Amino acid sequence: MEKLLLKYDDYFLAVARPIIEHDEYQKMKVIPHHHGSVFEHSLDVAYLSYKIAMKFRLDVISTIRGALLHDFYLYKFKKREDKNLLAESYRHSRNHPKIAVKNAQKYFELNKKERDIISNHMFPVGLPRSYEAWVTTIADKSLALTEYTTRVYCFAYLKLYLHLVQKSA
Ligand SMILES: [Fe+2]
Ligand SMILES: [Fe+2]
């Protein structure tokens, strides 16, 4: 795990460690999210949120803790073929913050801002009530977009590669 943490600074890790080393939190390593895991995604969202929160002199500790736990729902989101994908995605968007906050309260002591960050990060499904929650919402959306576009690029590259290999055969 230490190798994975090299890209984060000491202050961030000092605040994050009690959460990320928790056995329940470690379970997120096997839950997929775009091209990685929910574990990696949550750490990246928390780190970006922390950097923004520092810049705007916000509550950095609550930002890191809340952002780390924003997707602490601990289940695999499966798109079932027989179901309406849009309706299922909406349901997931609405439900997973509620489950995440419930899980987070079970294992960690949360303050009001941390609960706000987790509960309302899916804006416009929820409405952030603090600057810290807005920061995490924005960081989450921008990183999700990057993760998704990276996957699209990889797929396009793979298709092009296969096409060229086929042509040269
Ligand atoms: Fe989420
Ligand atoms: Fe997220």
- Distance of CA 57 from the midpoint of ligand 2 (Å): 23
The residue among 65 and 83 whose pLDDT is bigger is: 65
Residue list, CB under 5 A from ion ligand 2:
71, 140
* C-alpha count within 13 angstroms, C-beta hemisphere, residue 135: 27
**What's the pLDDT at 76?**
84
**What's the pLDDT at 77?**
75
- Give the pLDDT confidence of 92-103 residue by residue, as tens digits: 999 999 999 999
The residue among 108 and 78 whose pLDDT is bigger is: 108
The span from the CA of 114 to the CA of 123, in Å, is: 15
Name the CA dihedral angle for 135, 141, 147, 150, rounded to a multiple of 10 degrees. -110
The span from the CA of 100 to the CA of 106, in Å, is: 10
The CA radius of gyration of the chain, in Å to the nearest whole number, is 17
Q: Is residue 156 part of a domain?
A: no
Reduced to 3 DSSP states, what percent helix, strand and coil does the chain have, rounded to the nearest 5?
70, 0, 30
Split at pLDDT 50, 70, 90, the class of 123 is very high
- Give the pLDDT confidence of 127-148 residue by residue, as tens digits: 999 999 999 999 999 998 887 6
Q: Is residue 145 part of a domain?
A: no
Q: What are phi and psi of 13, to 5 degrees?
A: -65, -35
- Distance of CA 49 from the midpoint of ligand 2 (Å): 12
Q: Is residue 165 part of a domain?
A: no
Residue list, CB under 5 A from ion ligand 1:
71
The domain containing residue 92 runs over which residues?
A: 10-140
Domain count, the chain: 1
**What's the pLDDT at 2?**
78
Q: Is residue 131 part of a domain?
A: yes
**What's the pLDDT at 121?**
97
Q: Is residue 150 part of a domain?
A: no
